[in-house]
Amino acid sequence: MFVRQLRNMIIYALVITKAARMRDESRGAHYKREFPTRDDERFMKITIVEFDPATEEPKISYEEFDHSLVKPRARNYAVAKKA
């Protein structure tokens, strides 16, 4: 059971890593020194991942979504909230 779950966790880590590396921006916990800000124009999208069992590689694509009800806003992770 653990071995099967470990394999799934490794696949999931591969998917997260590949999707993060494809983005030329910083967003949330994913920070890239060469791209320190968000790029909503290019990357405010839903990330779709399909796993190809033949190649054992994730295929990443993006899909537009309607975010008119909740406007995006910048987050500041450098300042800790006071409880």
Identify whether the C-beta of residue 76 lies closer than 8 Å to the C-beta of residue 35. no
pLDDT in tens, the chain (83 residues): 788 899 889 888 988 899 888 889 988 778 889 998 888 888 889 999 998 889 888 899 999 989 888 888 877 767 766 65
- DSSP 8-state assignment for residue 27: B
Residue 64 CB contacts under 8 Å (≥ 6 apart), including other chains: 45, 46
Q: Give the domain ranges of the chain.
A: 2-63
The pLDDT, as a whole number, for residue 83 is 59
> Do residues 50 and 58 touch, judged by C-beta distance below 8 A?
yes
CA 12 to chain centroid, in Å, comes to: 12
pLDDT number for residue 52: 84
* 56: three-class secondary structure by DSSP: coil
Q: How far is CA 74 from the centre of its chain?
A: 16
Residue 82 has a pLDDT of: 67
Q: What is the pLDDT of residue 42?
A: 87
CA–chain centroid gap for 66, Å, is: 18
